[in-house]
């Protein structure tokens, strides 16, 4: 999901713990004059798309801001410090066994079961421990087993930063990790530690396709290239892998990590799908070399690029450079992910049922779990009316291992990260949350694993 809201920043944090990780490039370059950040989308404006094979207007979720491709690739001096930041000061490494693949399902908390989860990307941006505690308590009460939290927050300049919390600075002189307890990696430490204590696991993407919290635009602003050359650009890839190493090494002892994800919704628009397949093959193998215990997934939207699936319209056209079938065959990816926003992609509201069944069928053929990882409706008056049928398809017509709607909402936090998709925590019978979260989570847990394999 591309974010449509700005995070309200409450104050400028003092920078105390920034650590240079990759040193100055071998050639001296002037400081970047390109904008440090791409503008955030501030509206929830919808855009309608008709089904065409050659999309001329890009869907809303496509990054529209351009970065100039004025710099040539250069080599970092590779003075990477393996340690990155001082060790976490919160307890890490508890919370039961690691989640694993069992056939087309997952074993979680020592049980092979279907389950439900949600998305709360902003947990790593919260600076209040009690906010983090409250959110995890609500997730646990709902019987959610997983939530998805952004494991990145990249900026280009401390002076112009608007993220409450950031984990690295990328600029023309190098890559710097923010080791600070209140504005930096200390916040992600707290989220992972709390997840362990509350028994809710985290799916952690390590990069954003979009400019929200930095993402690929933060890399290309600092190191040159663009949204498509990023995947093969030596400098950007060296920095990205170094960030992956920093995070994976820090939390690889934690059973609270459900899986690492290469990115949130990676796209290489109008590229051959081999670009992302090659990248996913290489990066997933790299993560496995650092951490053989955790699962790894791509974090993509599940686009098809096969003549045999679908009607050739946008989601089936390979337009975004992603081939779900080929990527699911990558041995170092443990399961497949897919998302669904019919209102943004130009489809009607019953089409998601087909989309869910198509991914389940591909998962069945590949013998791997598939996860319906993001889906949502902006019908704020009644989210359930559209989303219940999709959940029923997951429950009754497929072996989708788990599903997690976009996105979890809760009472006011120190920031306001919520959009029209947010479903606010509520225990009142018949409320959107009670139906889509409480009831659905219980139904998924009650689903018979054997009958549905
Ligand atoms: C890059 O960011 C680091 C950390 O904030 C800073 O020390 C350095 O001066 C920056 N380099 C440029 C060229 O702005
Ligand atoms: C990115 O740069 C490459 C090579 O310079 C170019 O072929 C490609 O069209 C660019 N992509 C975008 C999205 O601008
Ligand atoms: C919804 O879209 C699907 C797939 O594009 C199509 O088969 C179906 O007829 C549509 N349903 C309605 C009610 O328009
Ligand atoms: C799902 O299964 C139910 C009952 O088995 C069936 O009536 C329904 O048509 C199926 N839905 C889809 C979208 O295939
Ligand atoms: C949403 O609409 C359905 C169908 O009309 C109704 O049963 C349900 O109570 C509504 N939910 C809310 C939260 O208004």
Sort strands 402-405 and 115-119 into parallel, antiparallel or unpaired: parallel
Q: Is 74 a domain residue?
A: no
Q: Is the pLDDT of residue 131 over 80?
A: yes
Could you read off the pLDDT of 332-389 as tens digits, one per residue?
A: 999 999 999 999 999 999 999 999 999 999 999 999 999 999 999 999 999 999 999 9
Q: What is the pLDDT, as a whole number, of residue 36?
A: 23
Q: Is 22 a domain residue?
A: no
Are 399 and 105 spatial neighbours (Cβ–Cβ below 8 Å)?
A: yes
Residue nearest atom 6 of ligand 2, based on CA coordinates: 229
Ligand 3 in reach of 75 Cβ (< 6 A): no
Q: Is 9 a domain residue?
A: no
Ligand 3 mean position, distance from CA 398 (Å): 20
CATH number at residue 178: 3.20.20.80
Provide φ and ψ at 315, rounded to 5°.
Answer: -70, -15
Question: Given ligand 4 and candidates 388, 396, 399, which is best to mutate, with the most ligand atoms within 8 Å of its CB?
Answer: 396
Q: 19 falls in which pLDDT band (50, 70, 90)?
A: low
Question: What strand order describes the sheet that includes 201-205?
Answer: 295-297, 257-261, 201-205, 146-148, 115-119, 402-405, 370-375, 336-340
Q: Is 226 a domain residue?
A: yes
Active site annotation includes 301? no
Q: Residue for token digits 């955030």?
A: 40
Q: Is 47 a domain residue?
A: no
In percent, how much of the chain has pLDDT > 90? 78
Classify 324 as helix, strand or coil.
helix
Q: Measure the CA–CA gap between 441 and 58, rounded to whole angstroms.
A: 35
Provide φ and ψ at 36, rounded to 5°.
Answer: -75, -30
Q: What is the pLDDT, as a whole number, of residue 453?
A: 52
Ligand 4 in reach of 317 Cβ (< 6 A): no
Could you read off the pLDDT of 240-256 as tens digits, one per residue?
A: 999 999 999 999 999 99
**Exposure b/e, 383-404, CB count within 10 A at least 16 = b:** bbebbbebbebbbeebbbbbbb
* Mean pLDDT (whole number) for 426-434: 98
Angle between helices 234-251 and 215-223 (to 10 degrees): 130
Ligand 3 mean position, distance from CA 351 (Å): 6
Q: What is the pLDDT, as a whole number, of residue 265?
A: 98
Ligand 1 in reach of 24 Cβ (< 6 A): no
Residue nearest atom 6 of ligand 5, based on CA coordinates: 385
Q: 307 falls in which pLDDT band (50, 70, 90)?
A: confident
Q: Is 409 a domain residue?
A: yes
The total number of structural domains in the chain stands at 1
Active site annotation includes 434? no
Q: Is 26 a domain residue?
A: no
Q: What is the pLDDT, as a whole number, of residue 77?
A: 30
The whole domain housing 338 covers 81-452
Instruction: Answer yes or no: pTM beyond 0.95.
Output: no
In sequence order, the β-bridge partners of residue 264 are 208
Q: Measure the CA–CA gap between 51 and 287, rounded to whole angstroms.
A: 37
Q: Is 58 a domain residue?
A: no
Q: For the beta carbon of residue 120, count every other beta carbon within 10 angstroms.
A: 29
Q: What is the pLDDT, as a whole number, of residue 84?
A: 82
Give the list of residues 6+ apart from residue 109 with CB closer than 8 angstroms, or none: 96, 97, 145, 199
């Amino acid at each position: 999901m591309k974010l449509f809201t700005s995070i309200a920043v409450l104050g400028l944090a003092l920078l105390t713990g920034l650590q240079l990780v990759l040193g100055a490039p071998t050639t001296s370059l002037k400081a970047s004059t390109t904008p440090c950040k791409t503008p955030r989308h501030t509206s929830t404006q919808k855009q309608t798309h008709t089904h065409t094979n050659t999309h001329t207007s890009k869907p809303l979720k496509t990054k529209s801001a351009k970065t100039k491709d004025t710099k040539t690739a250069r080599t970092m001096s590779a003075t990477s410090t393996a340690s990155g930041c001082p060790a976490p000061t919160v307890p890490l490494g508890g919370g039961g066994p690691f989640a694993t693949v069992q056939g087309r399902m997952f074993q979680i908390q020592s049980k092979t079961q279907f389950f439900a989860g949600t998305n709360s990307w902003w947990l790593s941006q919260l600076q209040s421990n009690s906010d983090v505690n409250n959110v995890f308590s609500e997730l646990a009460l709902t019987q959610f087993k997983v939530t998805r939290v952004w494991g990145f927050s990249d900026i280009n300049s401390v002076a112009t930063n608007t993220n409450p919390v950031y984990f690295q600075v990328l600029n023309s002189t190098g890559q710097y990790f923010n080791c600070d307890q209140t504005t930096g990696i200390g916040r992600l430490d707290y989220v992972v530690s709390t997840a362990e204590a509350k028994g809710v696991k985290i799916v952690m993407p390590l990069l954003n396709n979009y400019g929200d919290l930095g993402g690929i635009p933060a890399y290309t602003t600092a190191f040159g290239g663009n949204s498509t050359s990023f995947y093969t650009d030596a400098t950007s890839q060296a920095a990205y892998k170094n960030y992956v190493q920093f995070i994976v090494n820090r939390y690889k002892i934690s059973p609270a990590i459900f899986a690492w994800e290469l990115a949130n919704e990676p796209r290489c628009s109008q590229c051959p799908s081999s670009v992302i397949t090659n990248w996913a093959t290489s990066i997933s193998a790299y993560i496995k070399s650092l951490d053989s215990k955790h699962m790894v997934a791509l974090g993509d939207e599940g686009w098809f690029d096969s003549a045999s699936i679908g009607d050739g319209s946008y989601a089936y056209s390979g337009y975004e450079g992603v081939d779900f079938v080929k990527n699911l065959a990558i041995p170092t990816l443990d399961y497949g992910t897919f998302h669904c926003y019919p209102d943004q992609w130009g489809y009607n509201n019953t089409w998601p049922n087909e989309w869910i069944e198509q991914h389940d069928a591909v998962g069945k053929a590949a013998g791997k779990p598939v996860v319906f990882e993001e889906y949502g409706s902006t019908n704020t008056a009644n989210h359930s009316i559209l989303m219940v049928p999709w959940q029923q398809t997951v429950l009754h017509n497929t072996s989708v291992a788990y599903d997690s709607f976009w996105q979890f909402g809760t009472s006011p936090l120190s920031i306001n990260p919520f959009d029209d998709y947010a479903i606010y925590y509520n225990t009142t019978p018949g409320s959107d949350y009670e139906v889509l979260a409480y009831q659905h989570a219980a139904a998924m847990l009650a689903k018979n694993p054997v009958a549905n394999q």
